[in-house]
Structure 1
Amino acid sequence: MTAAMLKLENRAVLRLSGSETKTFLQGLVTNDVMKVTADAALYAGLLTPQGKFLFDMMIVADGDDLLLDIEAERKPDLMRRLMMYKLRADVTIADETDLSVWVSFAKPSCGGVAYQDPRHEGLGWRLITSKTPDDTTLSAAKYEAKRLTLGVPDGGRDMEVEKYFWLETDAERLNGVSFTKGCFVGQELTARMKHRTTLKKKLVAVKAEGGSLTPGQTLLTPDGKNAGEIRTTDGTHAIAYFRLEFGDTSLNADGVPVHLA
């Protein structure tokens, strides 16, 4: 039985090859690239030196190469950033325009590089391939509803570039950071937030009751205090950038009751 699949039009693929590919990425991104295999993808971020979000990606092995599953809209910016860091390292960065990213809630049986979503098992499988799968009936609305219900951010749609600290994106829960791998860009600030401070804001899943949410709405407490902002939403479920001090407070968005999911 074939798996119903959905093409993620907002994703693109880069291929990194060369003898120093893993060590090159290891010194840049937030997760332990040495653990990447053909069967185990990693979720990671590339941050500013101040520990703030620049790019996120999924990294999976394809033979000796690494494939980066990234935001299509910001692909040129990421390529420029990687080239800036590459210097003389034996790494080739190629834009794989013939490859697409697909998702499914069941393991794909068609050819390509398939891997479980490393952020949350509930998001199923991803497939990088140049071919169109036999069954393309998975609806975008169904997949988006699952993502929002699980509280999984979708790149720059939910994470403001150079504004949110990596741990504010809920990256630790989503398996997007290693605190034992050693240095990476923004590592010092990320480790300090983990061990020495308490997070005040974070991306969380919220749900509306009896009304509809829209991106950009402000979450308010009963006395009118700003408790956060709605990011992506399907109307009922949403990702919100939330002030954690209001976790036990009644919330609303333009009068619509909202609670943490």
Structure 2
Amino acid sequence: MIHLPDRAVLRLSGEDANSWLANLVTCDIAGLKPGGGRWGALLTPQGKILFDFLATTDEDGRLYLDTDRGKAGDFAKRLSFYRLRAKVAVEDLSEGWSVHAALPPGITPGADAIAFADPRHPGLGQRILMPAAGVVDEAAVAAYHARRIGLGIPEGGKDFAFGDTFPHEALMDMLDGVDFKKGCYVGQEVVSRMQHRGTARTRILPVTAKSPLPATGTEIRIGDKPAGTLGSSAGSRGLALLRLDRVEEGAQKGETLKADEIELMVAKPGWWKAPAEAQKASA
């Protein structure tokens, strides 16, 4: 198992927990079963991602949210703000629990662990939540993120900024992070409009180079125009938030995509869906 020190756990319990959370977030919580997972987000009313998470449940119906450690406390407070009269308890388990990844073929976790398949891509294996501290192996963590980047899977806080990114830009529409058939949730109107009008011009895409990539946050340009921002990277492979229209226009003119004078090549992952296909799948 690979301990992921930048992840934390929230737990939701109570008879209203499932239906209450389903009315707030982008993913289908109602159909969640033990061993299964969902990728989802809590949005602003303007439809931008405030917090993203991987969700699962246990045999007692309690929900567990695997989320960014630096945002966990704020996430718990925001959920509590929405609680009102709902019969639900929100617990921040950041201090007592740890989050791990087990890459394929996976493992059999201990009796106290909560294990589920990573819902974003089968190549990311299992997520394991444990009521115990973890030991950090920096090399193993780097290998995990290299695998994630190679699969083209973005992560909040690394590849997109919280509070400033629409779900479509973070590929949540393509990776089942948004259920377009469920009922209303915070920010739903904006997200649905983007889906049906096909107005998402900015997307996260894998990029490669012939040399190691520069730091996260480096501006990417094509010709003399800004075209995006570099996210996380592993050697010469990375993820970048790109303006697709500018990248396409520049490519047609024979212009080069660059970050700090390093030439980049875009490589769409095998699971990538064209916008028309994504819209058809949600219809």
Residue pair 1:232, 1:239 contacting (<8 A) in 2 also: yes
SS at match of 1:155: coil
Q: Which residue of 1 aligns with 2:96?
A: 98
Please point out which of 56, 73, 87 is paired with 2:52: 56
Higher mean alpha-carbon deviation, 233-242 vs 32-41, is at 233-242
Deviation of residue 109 (structure 1)? 1.1
Amino acid at match of 1:166: P
> Equivalents in 1 of 2:27, 2:144: separation in Å?
26
> Equivalents in 1 of 2:98, 2:132: separation in Å?
8
Task: Decide whether aligned partners of structure 1 residues 133 and 45 sit closer, same or farther in structure 2, where only a CA change above 3 A counts.
Answer: closer
1:258 matched to 2:254? The reply is: no
Deviation per CA, 1:176-210: give whole Å up to 9, x if none.
00000110100000000000132111111111223
> Equivalents in 1 of 2:65, 2:98: separation in Å?
11
> Equivalents in 2 of 1:76, 1:122: separation in Å?
29
Give me the CA root mean square deviation.
1.9
User: Where does structure 1 lack aligned partners over 5 or more consecutive residues?
Assistant: none
Aligned length: 256
1:99-248 aligned within 5 A: 99-105=97-103, 106-111=105-110, 112-131=113-132, 139-221=140-222, 223-248=223-248
Residue pair 1:59, 1:67 contacting (<8 A) in 2 also: yes
Deviation of residue 212 (structure 1)? 2.9
Residue pair 1:52, 1:164 contacting (<8 A) in 2 also: yes
Task: Tell me the TM-score normalized by structure 2.
Answer: 0.85
SS at match of 2:45: coil
Q: Which residue of 1 aligns with 2:80?
A: 83
> Equivalents in 2 of 1:233, 1:211: separation in Å?
9
Task: Tell me the TM-score normalized by structure 1.
Answer: 0.92
Residue pair 2:106, 2:126 contacting (<8 A) in 1 also: yes
Amino acid at match of 1:11: R
Identity %: 36
Deviation of residue 36 (structure 1)? 0.9
Task: Decide whether aligned partners of structure 1 residues 137 and 160 sit closer, same or farther in structure 2, where only a CA change above 3 A counts.
Answer: closer
> Equivalents in 2 of 1:151, 1:69: separation in Å?
20
